[in-house]
Amino acid sequence: MLTNGGPLHDELEEALSRHLGIPTAMLFNNGTIALMTALRMFDLPSGGEVITTPLTFAATAHAISWNGLAPVFADVSPDDLTLDPASVEAAITPKTSAILAVHVYGTVCDLDALQDIATRHGLPLIYDAAHAFGTTVSGRPIGTFGDASVFSFHATKLFHTFEGGLLATNREEDRQTIYYLRNFGIKNEEEVVGIGINGKMNELQAMIGLLNLPQVEDERQTRAKLRQNYKSFLSDLPGIRLQPDQPGVSNSEQYFALQIDPEKFGRTRDDVYEALKSMDIFARKYFHPICTDFEPYRGYPIHSVWPQPAVDLVKTRVLCLPFHGGVEEQDIAQIRAVFLS
């Protein structure tokens, strides 16, 4: 019971299903295993290509590779940094088996364009929603788009269970399949019906989740104020570009990402990063280096509809500022001084 569908586990699973507005929402021990399981659900052919973004955490690409599938990187949209639909289209081959898009920084992907491509080519569309906990689009929960969505409850995420994850899908009929995949393929004491993995969340993780969940909305509101605060001095600064406001989208408030154009701003992203660091303020260059800079994916092309992939420039410019309820007025003043100096 401590590790296998105990009472706290079931309570949290139900609570999250309600909170996120997703009927089929199943807990996992971390987001990476949930991503691996999401891909596994579709029985994709060995060596099949899965189109994804290079501007993400390594786990997105690794989940593809661990399934014996081949990650294929398509460019990001220069406007909002999510997977660019035109570049996805340009990356499609007869071996393409699925699309794995990321709501990076909580910015929602071009849902309609990606769904249109997926439908036309008969491809499952999976979302890595690790940055989009609680996001809604015109009131519709983010986890109900595409064929499956995966959330991470790692300690760095808005809502966390120390480590944890969740696989969400509209495909109620797949609940049993996911259940087996999550628990070694065990059907009963004497039958193993599939090649499952150990993806189960334990009672300690679930307990942390049950304690954290009631605090999420307050934390989100505190961060929403922090966002306004940052925006008040960054919005009009030459050479600073913020992630776009998306009409109808309620932001998860997980990240505050911006881009620094060194010509127009007068300093590089790295200059600003170092200046902050010298004051013990730790910004992050998410996601630099990008996946194709990492050893296992080095030399993988980035399929793009532009002469030069947009992500190559973006990765030198992007910076995520400290973004949590513990950032205080004096911290903001220091950060402001670094940008305005």
Ligand X SMILES: *Cc1c(COP(=O)(O)O)cnc(C)c1O
Binding to ligand X, residues 153-212 (CB under 6 A): 154, 165
Q: What is the residue whose two structure tokens read 């929960």? A: 141
The residue among 31 and 339 lying less far from ligand X, judged by its C-beta, is 31
The residue among 102 and 276 lying less far from ligand X, judged by its C-beta, is 102
Q: Mask 92-131, x = binds ligand X (CB under 6 A)?
A: ----------x-------------------------x-xx
Q: Mask 29-58, x = binds ligand X (CB under 6 A)?
A: -xxx-----------------------xx-
The residue among 103 and 269 lying less far from ligand X, judged by its C-beta, is 103
User: Which residues, at least 6 apart from 28, have a Cβ–Cβ distance to it below 8 Å?
Assistant: 34, 37, 164, 165, 166, 167, 182, 199, 200, 201
Q: Which of 17, 24, 52, 60: binder of ligand X (CB under 6 A)? A: 60
Amino acid identity for residue 265 in this structure:
F
Could you give the CA distance from residue 229 to residue 332 in angstroms, rounded to a whole number? 8
Amino acid identity for residue 99 in this structure:
I
Could you give the CA distance from residue 338 to residue 84 in angstroms, rounded to a whole number? 33
Could you give the CA distance from residue 110 to residue 79 in angstroms, rounded to a whole number? 11
The residue among 59 and 338 lying less far from ligand X, judged by its C-beta, is 59
The residue among 77 and 338 lying less far from ligand X, judged by its C-beta, is 77
Q: How many residues bind ligand X (CB under 6 A)?
A: 14
Rounded to a whole number of angstroms, the minimum distance from the CB of residue 341 to ligand X is 31
Beta strands at 240-242 and 257-260: parallel, antiparallel or unpaired: antiparallel
Could you give the CA distance from residue 326 to residue 283 in angstroms, rounded to a whole number? 14
Chain position whose Cβ is nearest to ligand X: 31
DSSP secondary structure code for residue 161 in this structure: -
Binding to ligand X, residues 293-332 (CB under 6 A): none
Could you give the CA distance from residue 242 to residue 79 in angstroms, rounded to a whole number? 10
Task: Identify which of 53, 85, 90 has the alpha carbon closest to the alpha carbon of residue 71.
Answer: 53
The residue among 154 and 223 lying less far from ligand X, judged by its C-beta, is 154
The residue among 37 and 87 lying less far from ligand X, judged by its C-beta, is 37
Which region among 26-34, 171-179, 212-220, 313-321 touches ligand X (by CB under 6 A)?
26-34
Q: Is 152 in the site for ligand X (CB under 6 A)?
A: yes
Rounded to a whole number of angstroms, the minimum distance from the CB of residue 140 to ligand X is 21
Is the CB of residue 180 less than 8 Å from the CB of residue 143? no
Is the CB of residue 137 less than 8 Å from the CB of residue 115? no
Could you give the CA distance from residue 113 to residue 64 in angstroms, rounded to a whole number? 22
Contacts with ligand X, residue ranges (CB under 6 A): 30-32, 56-57, 59-60, 102, 128, 130-131, 152, 154, 165
